[in-house]
Amino acid sequence: MSSSSSDGDTRLRHPSRFESVSDEFAHPSEAIFASLLDLYRIEWLYEPVEFPLVWGDDGVPTKGFRPDFFLPKHGLFIELTVAEQRLVTRKNQKIRQFRELYPEATLLVVYQRDYRKILERHEIDEHGVAAA
């Protein structure tokens, strides 16, 4: 879990008050989501493991799936999918393969509509800025 304050203040802060950590993430939505996890003091790891989905004839993985977050205390993987619904077909195929191959792993997929509801609930626009 990243720190929510550099001065040792342990009070909960709105995600818009966090220093930007977007350099660590593949997409700005992941940085915002991580800030929300920090807000609620939920321990998380970013892309900690890649699950092989397809193997070559030599047994070496040729295709994999790396969920965006893992919440160790909850045993939960989270995948953010903020692309338009019509564009998520390929990712949904990977998610189906993942679930077939690793039924013991719990995965929560956060689609664009769900992500937007989360932002609305926290009064954050899509750029991570708190609404006025």
What structural domains does the chain harbor? 15-121 (3.40.960)
d(CA 43, CA 73): 7
pLDDT in tens, 35-90: 999 999 999 999 999 999 999 999 999 999 999 999 999 999 999 998 777 778 88
pLDDT of residue 90: 85
**Encoded tokens for 13:** 């802060």
d(CA 64, CA 130): 35
The β-bridge relationship of strands 61-65 and 45-46 is: unpaired
Query: At residue 3, does pLDDT exceed 50?
Result: no
The β-bridge relationship of strands 76-81 and 106-111 is: parallel
Q: What percent of the chain has pLDDT over 90?
A: 61
Name the helix (H) or strand (E) containing 81: strand 76-81
pTM above 0.75, yes or no: yes
